[in-house]
Structure 1
């Protein structure tokens, strides 16, 4: 009762304990995702005998479509029911995932597990983003998103390394997925007992919300319907729509990395252990780099960091397409992670900058719908191209799409940071 009676305050310092807890919770969310990153492509080939790349990527497609749709639902439900119930529901959905992966007698069971994983990630990751934006207030959104995404993707990377080691030492099943089961149990317990509702923080910010000095968004008032929020975020509002397409292309890259990088690396003669290191390097740099790029976007602004990040990713993918050794691919993975770190938290900060607090959770849901739809698009595009012309051709196509996305950001996105708007 005492906690609910407190008057909410905005900012990282007055909410440090709860913010830190949510960082830890999102690390567990990332760990649940990371449990299959090194192992599942090999499981598809060696246990279930899948050879076509498009068929192999059905699990990425199932995950991406489900997560994208759940992101949208999570934003709407967070406004209607509150943040904590949605977060708790996400953890409950995750309980069967490692069990299905351990005991799957056919590839259909693996796809079903990834449908549930998509629901879990959509509900939990979206909600931790919304809750951190609620707590942080307008001044330090870049830092808040950097910490959130760094925790999640560092956990993805560390878990990818750990499961690669476990798979090499103990086999592809069950050892790697027991780690995922432990993450689910811990995340569910922390959320149920210690996480507190943050919706009141959003209401507090909405009460003191002021219009931009440059006149933008005067028409984007607090009373937008969910349909209007969808249209503004997807198409009409330049910053939100530019961020949505960049987010989609960014995760198109990640869909390629999840599904085809392990096969490319092992097919070139690398060991499973070396492949696990390469697969982990990209999200490791991505995760750690956001500790720098998130607060950097608060200092430098959003637009140029996003543009440079998309072009950096495109260059790294080109190197992966032509590379053939562990050292070359390691350098490219580091550069790819750095480019992604420049983009990922900054795009979320753009949504937080532009969206009114009254409908910000729904805008985050729409943005994440498009962003994580990139997993599905990446699976379809890269799988089809790989089947027709080979793995390296698929990487080249994704590199070209990424460069084009960076040019769209340069042309359409204006500066959204509160302290940088006048420039």
Structure 2
């Protein structure tokens, strides 16, 4: 798929501008609320924001799938503008609580729709990059809003600050109406992996049946404690150690901006090196930095720790979202992201309850528990197999072997025996090249730090595929043995059978390639290979019966019939090898999609 084509670049720009503008309006509250409210008065608006946002996000994925990304985002921004207007006119704890019911709901609709839209535009292959990019603009917007809040409040008034929360989402609405186009149809670009449409209960049942995904949901919920702790506890802490409101906005904004800027970098890296280690290490380091922040006593060290926390926290945020995409079929992507974001953002409520007591240590302890859950339960959904490119290259050579053998048959049908022998020599060269690559793969497999079971799976996969070249060379030897007595009608049917094998090889190539995108996609394609092998087996039985009938009638001699039957069996054996290889791929997938 080619992202940014056909106007997709403008749609991507509009999506990112919208979430950044709305994020900046929310970022204002990161400074305003903790600077003016304490205790329950501070907790209630945060709880209202988190609960409304999370509940809306659970269904917003369905809305994004059913009515489209554009309509869903516009409805969300309209709700947000209403909440911002209410906050401007009622800047009390009660008014902020009511306003945040609308603000949270509006942001939930917008952010989910835009997350799905950006994922549509970039595709599943770059899931973490796509989600990291969207989240980066959203949370960098939070940071810009926090910095602006400090500056505007210091140089103007609270009304000036709150008016910005109305202006920014209004500008986002104009951007969506004038620049953003629907992206739902782009999911067809992944039709290779697409299954039948599924209902909401089926989608949620499928997702919650996967231990890795349910653990990711719990982990995302607990990870929100870091964000909530910084929102509620950092500004009062900074004011206690002597910072004015401008400094508070700057430090809070730095945490959010660095968090946002780091996300696409971490997301892109996780698409290449895997999800699990990055998530677990990010959560563990975040827990340690929170404890350190609670003990800081000077503005400089608090600012540096906050910056480090932003960078570290940004490593798990888009990667957990990408894990939800990895484990979800494309046709349920909006539902998956909606459920994930809803449960994650309900962590605002949990966090607000915990931090009302001013407890950094408790939030840090729960974040550390989340890291341990990832280590113990979550499977790696984007494994970094260091030899995977070589495996793909090896099978590409085996596929070329099939093509070369097809040309041997075509030359024999044309009576061009010299051409057939030349193609056979080409086949031998390819088979030797395949052997060379296989030896390199084996060296990489057994020198890699992967678990023993994974190494054995790939060894069996490559050994099975490597048999293709040898089977084709043996088939040529048998054909050349009976060359003077070879009837053209048998060559036609053998060629027809081999063309089906070629189609099966193409299916398996898609299957193997999908393994580098997402194991759940590769799992979907293993069934296609099995069906293709069944068709080839039926062709083999019919052709063997015909050969036996011709031998019984005396049309061909017994030796020729035996050699032809062996040729047919060898070609069918290649189909068996491809099916067996696909079964091994299935086993590899099961290990990473549970």
Do both share a fold (TM > 0.5)?
yes
Asked if 1 retains the 8 angstrom alpha-carbon contact of 2:14 and 2:176, the reply is no
Asked if 2 retains the 8 angstrom alpha-carbon contact of 1:10 and 1:201, the reply is no
Please tell me whether residue 188 in structure 1 is matched to residue 198 in structure 2: no
Please tell me whether residue 177 in structure 1 is matched to residue 178 in structure 2: no
**What displacement does 1:26 show?**
1.6
Aligned match of 1:413 in 375, 378, 381? 378
Distance 2:242 2:220 in 1: 33
Asked if 2 retains the 8 angstrom alpha-carbon contact of 1:90 and 1:124, the reply is yes
Instruction: Give deviations 1:204-245, integer Å, cap 9, x for gaps.
Output: 42x3107xxxxxxxxxx6454322333443x42122212211
**What displacement does 1:13 show?**
5.5
Q: Who is 1:208 aligned against? A: 192
Q: Who is 2:199 aligned against? A: 225
Please tell me whether residue 260 in structure 1 is matched to residue 233 in structure 2: yes
* Structure with greater contact order relative to length (CA < 8 Å, sep ≥ 6): 1
Aligned match of 1:30 in 13, 23, 28? 23
Distance 1:105 1:336 in 2: 30
Aligned match of 2:34 in 41, 50, 54? 41
Instruction: Name the SS of the counterpart of 1:289 in structure 2.
Output: helix
Report the structure number with the largest CA radius of gyration. Answer: 2
Instruction: Name the SS of the counterpart of 1:140 in structure 2.
Output: helix
Please tell me whether residue 149 in structure 1 is matched to residue 135 in structure 2: yes
Please tell me whether residue 11 in structure 1 is matched to residue 25 in structure 2: no
| CA gap 1:105/1:311 in 2 versus in 1, 3 angstroms | closer
Distance 1:106 1:291 in 2: 36
Which deviates more, 317-326 or 265-274?
A: 265-274
Q: Who is 2:484 aligned against? A: none
Instruction: Name the SS of the counterpart of 2:36 in structure 1.
Output: helix
Aligned match of 2:78 in 92, 100, 104? 92
Q: Who is 1:307 aligned against? A: 280
Please tell me whether residue 243 in structure 1 is matched to residue 228 in structure 2: no
Please tell me whether residue 107 in structure 1 is matched to residue 107 in structure 2: no
Distance 1:247 1:403 in 2: 12
Distance 2:156 2:171 in 1: 24
**What displacement does 1:399 show?**
0.4
Instruction: Give deviations 1:347-386, integer Å, cap 9, x for gaps.
Output: 1111111110111110111101110000011001221xx1
Distance 1:32 1:186 in 2: 11
Q: Who is 1:363 aligned against? A: 336
Q: Who is 1:403 aligned against? A: 368
Distance 1:56 1:29 in 2: 21
Asked if 2 retains the 8 angstrom alpha-carbon contact of 1:222 and 1:356, the reply is no
| CA gap 1:13/1:316 in 2 versus in 1, 3 angstroms | farther
Aligned match of 2:110 in 124, 127, 130? 124
**What displacement does 1:191 show?**
0.9
Asked if 1 retains the 8 angstrom alpha-carbon contact of 2:142 and 2:256, the reply is yes
**What displacement does 1:105 show?**
6.1
Asked if 2 retains the 8 angstrom alpha-carbon contact of 1:38 and 1:279, the reply is yes
Distance 1:198 1:102 in 2: 34
Distance 1:84 1:332 in 2: 39
TM-score for both structures, normalised by structure 1 = 0.87
Instruction: Name the SS of the counterpart of 1:39 in structure 2.
Output: helix
Q: Who is 2:582 aligned against? A: none
The structure in which a higher percent of residues are helix is: 2
Q: Who is 2:506 aligned against? A: none
Q: Who is 2:326 aligned against? A: 353
Q: How many residues align?
A: 387
Distance 1:144 1:272 in 2: 35
**What displacement does 1:107 show?**
2.2
Instruction: Name the SS of the counterpart of 2:381 in structure 1.
Output: coil
Distance 2:115 2:335 in 1: 12
Distance 1:303 1:342 in 2: 11
TM-score for both structures, normalised by structure 2 = 0.63
Asked if 2 retains the 8 angstrom alpha-carbon contact of 1:133 and 1:352, the reply is no
**What displacement does 1:96 show?**
2.3
Instruction: Give deviations 1:155-209, integer Å, cap 9, x for gaps.
Output: 11011001111112223x211122222211111111112211111122442x310
Asked if 1 retains the 8 angstrom alpha-carbon contact of 2:266 and 2:314, the reply is yes
Distance 2:288 2:206 in 1: 31
Superposition RMSD on alpha carbons, in Å? 1.9
Instruction: Give deviations 1:19-78, integer Å, cap 9, x for gaps.
Output: 22212222112112112111122232xxxxxx4x13321100000000000101211111
Distance 2:40 2:297 in 1: 23
Distance 2:175 2:304 in 1: 37
Asked if 2 retains the 8 angstrom alpha-carbon contact of 1:232 and 1:241, the reply is no
Asked if 2 retains the 8 angstrom alpha-carbon contact of 1:222 and 1:357, the reply is no
Instruction: Name the SS of the counterpart of 1:196 in structure 2.
Output: coil
Instruction: Name the SS of the counterpart of 2:47 in structure 1.
Output: helix
Distance 2:125 2:103 in 1: 33
| CA gap 1:105/1:284 in 2 versus in 1, 3 angstroms | closer
Q: Who is 2:345 aligned against? A: 372
